[in-house]
Structure 1
Amino acid sequence: MSFPKVNPTQTTAWKKLQYHFEALKKVHMMDLFSENVSRKSDFSYQWDAFEVDISKNRITSETLSLLFQLAGETKLKEAIEAQFSGVAINETEDRAVLHTELRNFKTMKPEVTEALSQMKVFSEKIISGVWKGHTGKPITDVVNIGIGGSDLGPDMVTEALAFYRNHLNLHYISNVDGDHVMETLKKVDPETTVFLIVSKTFTTQETLTNANTVREWFLETASEVAIAKHFVAVSTNLEAVQKFGIASENIFPMWDWVGGRFSLWSAVGLSTCCAIGYKNFESLLKGAHAMDIHFQETDFSENIPVLLGLLSVWYANFFKTETEAVIPYSQYLNKLVPYLQQAFMESNGKGVDRNGNEIEYQTGSVIWGSTGTNAQHAFFQLLHQGTKLIPTDFIVFTESLHKKIEHQNKLLSNFYAQTEALLYGTKGEEMETPYKVFQGNRPTNSIVIKKLTPYSLGSLLALYEHKIFVQGVLWNIFSYDQWGVELGKKIAVEKLAKLQKE
């Protein structure tokens, strides 16, 4: 089974969409709602604890029909089958893309089952206090040292699930800027801290620089023998890890078939597992797997990741939008946007297609945003009255974890008010000054979830992973390599050599 390589602009559907766009581009969504009183229900989708409303988009049923045709002509269904079948769809690196196997408990690979068991045992020892530091004191702090996918995912999930956290203090060191590592070390006690070094090759410059600095700091008050009780690694480079002083039983695996930005489900998420406990970590995985099944098995007409991915293509390639905003109305999700920035922009920021040809159409939208309601007092002016069209995802959980009903009602009222204001604007109202006019007709998706739990968070993150996949297939690009980060690394090594000689 080969991965499809279809130039979308050469399809019949693309040409039809161009004509359709010309007819629809100036239509106001208000008129579409007036013409169809059941539009909201017609364009809303229920799945599990999710309700996804795409009615506030500049689309009609014909738009979706043509987008489904485009998905068919670019062989999206075949691409989905290829990924889940383990085909090496990351062809430039000759790797399969199977992060979904990290959360499929029915057909889980033996090595994944073993790694999860190892994570369970380790995390329970740390949480219970059975694991002691070299002076006999229980562990109070866990520090994750990594960068990119070895930092953004675990940090984001640990923050998002803070409600479910135990007594451990979690810290994340990523930037090679020495200020980051030194400020973190001020907060921890070497006798009661475990450091998790997460690096597939154990050669990543930022991670190894920080790890060595931490090691030197630790050895100021302890012997090298003590390293075994305070340092753990997630890596494939066993020789380098053991040379660092880490005991073989404290090494967790990584695999080539899991890309870094999709690795939080693996032992890369060990810090999260320690923070929320193995049971909650497993629930996170199961929530993601439920979305995997939905994506793999549901008809495109009801398939939420497919629908959201198709809408992105519609805006990027026909309306020529260049960015998408994501606004989670939950302070717990304040690190979701940086995580999605890497996931989307490292995956689909490509200018060469799967046939090796330079691309002449838009790919890889810029992802940005912040939490509501903070964002309303920051950049919503641009969303409402700016000259740029910015499709926006609004995410909210209807149930308050802390049962603060007054706060929650005000949060929800703002969530619904903003999408409505972006839709309607001041259309039909007489304004005394043009400066108060809102044109409206600004597209939004509403993702409404019952409650923030490990399970629902897993589903939400998997939803976005599959949206990335859909975009990549339709744009005919390889979403799972990241050659674009290599050139800067190479030049930095050369610059460093020069600086060290001076």
Structure 2
Amino acid sequence: MTSDHWQTIKALPQASLNQLFNEDDNRVANFGMEHAGLYFDFSKTHLDLAAVAAFQKLADDVGLSVKVKALLSGEPINISEGRAAEHCAERGIGNAASVGHAKALHQRMKGLIEVIDSGALGEFTQIIHLGIGGSALGPKMLHQALKLGDEKYDLAVVSNIDGVALEPVLERFDAGKTLLVIASKTFTTAETLLNAQTVLDWMREQGVADPLGQVVALTADPDQAVSWGVDETRILPFSETVGGRYSLWSSIGFSVALALGYDVFEDLLAGAAAMDEHFRDTPWAENIPVLAAFADQYYTQVRGCETRAVFAYDERLNLLPDYLQQLEMESNGKSVTLDGQPLSLHSSPIVWGGVGTDAQHAVFQLLHQGTHLVPVEFLAVIEPGNSLSPAHHNGLLLNCFAQGAALMAGKKSDDSHRNYPGDRPSVTILLEDLDARTLGALLAFYEQRTFVNASLLNINPFDQFGVELGKQMAGKLAAEDGNRLDASTEELKKRAFGA
């Protein structure tokens, strides 16, 4: 049943952004928050103090504090699968036994990294990391954001079953110097294991006598990896209670820790823990992930916004929109509540985005003058990631800030083609620097924000049964058992593979 507080929220006056600034001299201070090297500016959203107060009552009504405690104490809040969601324990926040277990597995990972760095297992200079979904997207995004260009290992993360993704890596890598890392929670993921078998075949063709001796497995099912042929000393387990899209904090982060250094991985965990502590200890009105979720729900439920756009004004973060798509849409793309009833509210918005300033010359036309109201999220970094003339970075930042100002202010014109309505919302997240600590805090913010959104909607963000149906259909199509699907699909199969 929908909380009565939703009706109160929907009935609140809808002032324009300019009105909100004109009526509150302290608006920037009231809606600007800083923590763990990040500054969040929520002042260009339509939230005001009355809206925040109404959302706080909703949060209390749905038992948000109880749900946060359950998440962080390791209770089985993933009710459809009967288990906890303990990615925070990987960062040191959670049930004491789970935190201790995570630390022990991290030390095992660190020990294997030290052995590999010593050359005891071979003179590796290249790493192929195979996974899909969270087993690949998180590590790939981290590596893209944090690499400096002088690393000891050349890391390639491959997820797609399309051979076009894997073949160029095999063409430029040296089989004898390549460490193969296979990341799969169940170690049964079809795409990942097919890619792995192809890499092993390539190693044999290139004269590697024992390809499996160059394999490390990252999995929650070590027995399955052993059955597949991986030596148990080169298997790095992680907990079954860590979901795929939340798994980069676990041994799934091994390839990045190896390529960039284990100290980088430790800093990543520390930054995330700092945001977790803020989320756990801060009242809702000053709680950054909670306030972000209030804004999300305002635009989704009150203004009917079906999408949210994310633009990183830093080339190093070009994979962040992709990462957030999986995190938010896989978590909160649900249509039933925790008790299995139809969801009467809108679920996760469609998350999309790109990189500034490229996006300004592509999709921003719609944001400024289109008929869709799209909340926008800007990310920028104060310290530049390059050594070129400051003009490059200064121009980047000024463009970022100007876009948010323009979306809000608009510009009236007697020429309707040159009229900009304005009053279009945005949030700006400003990082002091893009390093492992700030990135860890940023990603933890997004995770906790996603959890708060799910709590306000009364849905389970930790299962993903919708992902399975397409896999099952693919299996049916591949099987030669006489089973047929719809006529359209059968015609496509016939055209592709013949009668």
TM-score, reference length from structure 1: 0.92
- Is the Cα contact below 8 Å between 2:105 and 2:238 reproduced in 1? no
Residues of 1 paired with 2:43 and 2:223: CA distance? 55
- Which deviates more, 158-167 or 81-90? 158-167
Distance 1:254 1:143, change over 3 A: same
Residues of 2 paired with 1:452 and 1:56: CA distance? 24
C-alpha RMSD of the superposition: 1.8
Compute the displacement of 1:223 (Å). 5.5
- Is the Cα contact below 8 Å between 1:129 and 1:139 reproduced in 2? no
| 1:215 to 2:200 alignment | yes
Distance 1:236 1:54, change over 3 A: closer
Question: Counterpart in 2 of 1:338?
Answer: 322
Residues of 2 paired with 1:218 and 1:141: CA distance? 13
- Which deviates more, 33-42 or 310-319? 33-42
Question: Counterpart in 2 of 1:348?
Answer: 332
- Which deviates more, 138-147 or 457-466? 138-147
Compute the displacement of 1:501 (Å). 11
Question: Of 109, 119, 123, which aligns to 1:130?
Answer: 119
Question: Counterpart in 2 of 1:99?
Answer: 87
Distance 1:78 1:193, change over 3 A: same
Q: Counterparts of 1:283-432 in structure 2 under 5 Å?
A: 283-404=267-388, 405-427=390-412, 431-432=413-414
| 1:249 to 2:239 alignment | no
- Is the Cα contact below 8 Å between 1:286 and 1:455 reproduced in 2? yes
SS in 2 for 1:45: strand
SS in 1 for 2:248: coil
| 1:173 to 2:158 alignment | yes
| 1:113 to 2:113 alignment | no
Compute the displacement of 1:105 (Å). 7.6
SS in 1 for 2:71: helix
Compute the displacement of 1:410 (Å). 0.8
| 1:56 to 2:33 alignment | no
| 1:45 to 2:30 alignment | no
- Is the Cα contact below 8 Å between 2:184 and 2:218 reproduced in 1? yes
- Which deviates more, 213-222 or 237-246? 237-246
- Which deviates more, 139-148 or 213-222? 213-222
Question: Counterpart in 1 of 2:439?
Answer: 457
Residues of 2 paired with 1:142 and 1:468: CA distance? 32
Distance 1:48 1:233, change over 3 A: closer
Question: Of 487, 494, 500, which aligns to 2:469?
Answer: 487
Question: Of 430, 436, 452, which aligns to 1:448?
Answer: 430
TM-score, reference length from structure 2: 0.93
- Is the Cα contact below 8 Å between 1:50 and 1:447 reproduced in 2? yes
Distance 1:178 1:325, change over 3 A: same
Residues of 1 paired with 2:124 and 2:304: CA distance? 52
Question: Counterpart in 2 of 1:145?
Answer: 130
Distance 1:407 1:396, change over 3 A: same
- Is the Cα contact below 8 Å between 1:124 and 1:277 reproduced in 2? no
Matched to 1:241, the amino acid is A
- Is the Cα contact below 8 Å between 1:124 and 1:278 reproduced in 2? no
SS in 1 for 2:249: coil
Question: Counterpart in 1 of 2:11?
Answer: 19
Residues of 2 paired with 1:111 and 1:408: CA distance? 43
Compute the displacement of 1:472 (Å). 0.3
Question: Counterpart in 1 of 2:244?
Answer: 260
Same amino acid, percent of matched pairs: 37
- Is the Cα contact below 8 Å between 2:222 and 2:237 reproduced in 1? no
Residues of 2 paired with 1:401 and 1:424: CA distance? 30
Distance 1:242 1:48, change over 3 A: closer
Residues of 2 paired with 1:208 and 1:132: CA distance? 23
Residues of 1 paired with 2:231 and 2:100: CA distance? 23
Distance 1:398 1:125, change over 3 A: same
Count of equivalent residues: 481
Question: Of 409, 416, 422, which aligns to 1:434?
Answer: 416
Deviations 1:381-420 (A, max 9, x none): 1111110011111111111133542212111111110100
Which stretches in structure 1 are left out of the alignment for 5+ residues?
Answer: 1-6
SS in 2 for 1:150: helix
- Is the Cα contact below 8 Å between 2:93 and 2:276 reproduced in 1? no
| 1:201 to 2:186 alignment | yes
| 1:183 to 2:165 alignment | no
Compute the displacement of 1:301 (Å). 0.9
- Which deviates more, 203-212 or 396-405? 396-405
Question: Of 47, 54, 75, which aligns to 1:66?
Answer: 54
Residues of 2 paired with 1:243 and 1:256: CA distance? 18
- Is the Cα contact below 8 Å between 1:393 and 1:447 reproduced in 2? yes
SS in 2 for 1:445: strand
- Is the Cα contact below 8 Å between 1:119 and 1:278 reproduced in 2? no
- Is the Cα contact below 8 Å between 1:383 and 1:390 reproduced in 2? yes
Compute the displacement of 1:432 (Å). 4.9
Compute the displacement of 1:190 (Å). 0.5
- Is the Cα contact below 8 Å between 2:249 and 2:269 reproduced in 1? yes
Residues of 2 paired with 1:301 and 1:18: CA distance? 19
Compute the displacement of 1:224 (Å). 5.4
Residues of 1 paired with 2:415 and 2:434: CA distance? 42
Residues of 2 paired with 1:60 and 1:102: CA distance? 36
- Is the Cα contact below 8 Å between 2:221 and 2:237 reproduced in 1? no
Compute the displacement of 1:425 (Å). 0.5
Residues of 1 paired with 2:99 and 2:28: CA distance? 42
Distance 1:377 1:182, change over 3 A: same
Compute the displacement of 1:79 (Å). 0.6
Distance 1:180 1:48, change over 3 A: closer
Question: Of 224, 235, 248, which aligns to 2:219?
Answer: 235
- Is the Cα contact below 8 Å between 2:331 and 2:464 reproduced in 1? yes
SS in 1 for 2:210: helix
Residues of 1 paired with 2:150 and 2:282: CA distance? 34
SS in 1 for 2:82: coil
Compute the displacement of 1:14 (Å). 1.1
- Is the Cα contact below 8 Å between 1:17 and 1:66 reproduced in 2? yes
Compute the displacement of 1:19 (Å). 1.3
Deviations 1:331-386 (A, max 9, x none): 00001111110000000000011111011220111100011111111101111111
Compute the displacement of 1:164 (Å). 7.4
Question: Counterpart in 1 of 2:264?
Answer: 280
SS in 2 for 1:481: coil
SS in 1 for 2:355: coil
